[in-house]
Structure 1
């Protein structure tokens, strides 16, 4: 049973002012993601020497599309909820093989209210990966740092996504919609770039960089505290990343994951404001004083992986 942090009434009053939605932040964020994807493709078309950078950018923006779906599933993406669902499905989630019904079941109905229990699919995935087993530092880094970078965890990552984010609750009609979106995407991309578009510039980064970035982001969200904490203010972390790391992992306020679990309906463009409001709380401020980035911090705190590196056994 997770205890819920009780904030001062004045802080909650200030937080309440952030529950303001509109219909323009989300389309602009989505267009910026698309623009970066197009820019990355242009780079690689100019010279294949840029292909590694292209794959990194596209894979990270595919993760950004997952964040758009995530916000829509919490009804926090737009003022018009039907508009938000359209953006979160046809223009983002469907493009990365994630269905609306499966995602909302897995994330909104299971992960959030059942976090840290056997009914939480994210926690179950952590456990099945072996990350909570006792390892020497060398073993831990080989399995959970180098293996994801080398795409050796691809099968388990894809299995999790297919089961929890695509098939678990999707119906035939929605699966046909996803197929239709990819068919249109394939035809459009082929006309503009050629047949290589879908395979080189979409499937390849999805099967490599997107999976890698997703693993490191989602591990940083709750590891290791999800296994032992009894309070919702300690069950996740905010990330304060170096600007380069933030570009690839902090899209659309995703770095403020602790705030998201405390107040999941705050729109992503107000999460930073929420952080400064919550810093008035002594406990929140004390907890955040320990946080850095995933790999490289933008403050004096060691990153999550630097902290793990200092341990003899993990």
Structure 2
């Protein structure tokens, strides 16, 4: 929290920083519940439309798992510490290929050096604005799996690649175990094909595109002067954007950088409180508008 506490009264911050095992459990059940519901839909009504819709829903919830793991990395997803650590690592991070312990070290460095030369996320935002054609090519590479395989190959070769640090692992074992469980359960139910088509494929495609959209929205074309209100961006998200692009209040990013120990389910209240006390936050009306700005190069 640090110096950012000056933006709101301490009592308000203390209330908004309250953690809850009930909320943590609900959000974890919700992210897996949406994935399960998408699988059931595609199994019961198998056709191109439901498969594509399921890929988008699962990919968005894999992103949701990354968001909730991010909260766990800050120690705020659950009130009970051991539950926070276990769920963040095994039920949220490992299934999609994340490692909460490695991510925590990387991500706290991002908070400490936001938008400075030492920010590990800076290469993801410093390149903007780009041309419209360049932005289309980036998303095409995401949606066709090229970005996924480039990052995986870079990690195997131990080379530097923008965005790769977020996927570093202390060990591949949790990911291998959790994915074996997912495949085993689906195979036992007689639907083994769901694993490659509606787990791996979303991870290789839609998840990568949504992650790029998030990286652009959060820090591209923001200030580098150390002002916490303008070195990150909050983006308003309608219900469709929340379903497919920005679940679990991830669009409130100025608020997160100002008070990083507030749980995500408190972000709406935090946004309202900050808007009342300080009107100079970097806010955009939609993700479409952010992408317009990012492709104005």
The answer to whether the 8 Å contact 1:11/1:277 transfers is no
Aligned counterparts of 1:111 and 1:120: Cα–Cα separation in 2 = 5
Equivalences for 1:142-221 in 2 at 5 Å?
142-158=136-152, 159=154, 163-167=164-168, 170=170, 174-221=171-218
CA 1:6–1:179 in structure 2 vs 1: closer, same or farther (change >3 Å)? Answer: closer
**1:268 and 2:254 equivalent?**
no
Aligned to 2:157: none
Counterpart in the other structure of 1:106: 106
| Larger deviation, residues 44-53 vs 74-83 | 44-53
Cα deviation digits, residues 56-100 of structure 1 (max 9, x gap): 000000000001110000011111111011111111100011112
SS of residue matched to 1:194: coil
Q: CA contact under 8 A between 2:4 and 2:259: conserved in structure 1?
A: no
1-structure distance, mates of 2:248, 2:238: 16
Moved more, 140-149 or 88-97: 140-149
1:90-129 correspondence to structure 2 within 5 Å: 90-108=90-108, 110-127=109-126
Question: What is aligned with 1:298?
Answer: none
Aligned to 2:290: 304
Name the CA shift for 1:33/1:273 in 2 (closer, same or farther; >3 Å). same
Q: 3-state SS of the aligned residue for 1:187?
A: helix
Runs of 4+ in structure 1 deviating by more than 6 angstroms, as ranges, are none
Q: How many Å apart are 1:220 and its aligned residue?
A: 0.7
Relative to structure 1, the CA distance from residue 152 to residue 229 in structure 2 (aligned partners, 3 Å threshold; closer, same or farther) is: farther
Distance in structure 2 (CA, Å) of the matches to 1:218 and 1:142: 15
Deviates more, 1:201-210 or 1:117-126: 117-126
Shift of residue 293, structure 1, vs aligned partner = 1.7
The Cα shift of 1:287 comes to 2.9
1:204 to partner: Cα distance:
0.6
Structure 1 residues 78, 126: CA separation in 2 closer, same or farther (over 3 Å shift)? same
> Does the Cα contact within 8 Å between 1:21 and 1:79 map onto a contact in 2?
yes
Q: Which residue of 1 aligns with 2:20?
A: 22
Instruction: Say yes or no: does 1:141 pair with 2:135.
Output: yes
Which residue pairs with 1:245 in the alignment? 241
1:230 aligns with 2:223: no
Q: CA deviation at 1:48?
A: 2.1
2:40 to 34, 39, 42: 42
The structural deviation recorded for 1:151 is 4.4
Is the contact made by 2:60 and 2:206 (CA closer than 8 Å) also made in structure 1? yes
Alignment match, 2:250: 254
Check conservation: 2:73, 2:101, Cα contact below 8 A: no
Count the aligned residue pairs: 287
SS where residue 115 of structure 2 aligns?
coil
| C-alpha RMSD of the superposition | 2.5
Contact 1:232 1:261 (C-alpha < 8 Å) held by counterparts: yes
CA deviation after TM superposition for structure 1 residue 115, in Å: 1.7
- The C-alpha deviation readout for 1:276-300, integer Å capped at 9, x for no partner, is 1111223xx2335x421212xxxxx
Structure 2: gaps (5+ residues): 155-160
Return the alpha-carbon distance in structure 2 between the equivalents of residues 77 and 231 of structure 1. Answer: 26
Distance change in 2, residues 1:85/1:286 (3 Å): same
| Normalised TM-score (structure 2) | 0.87
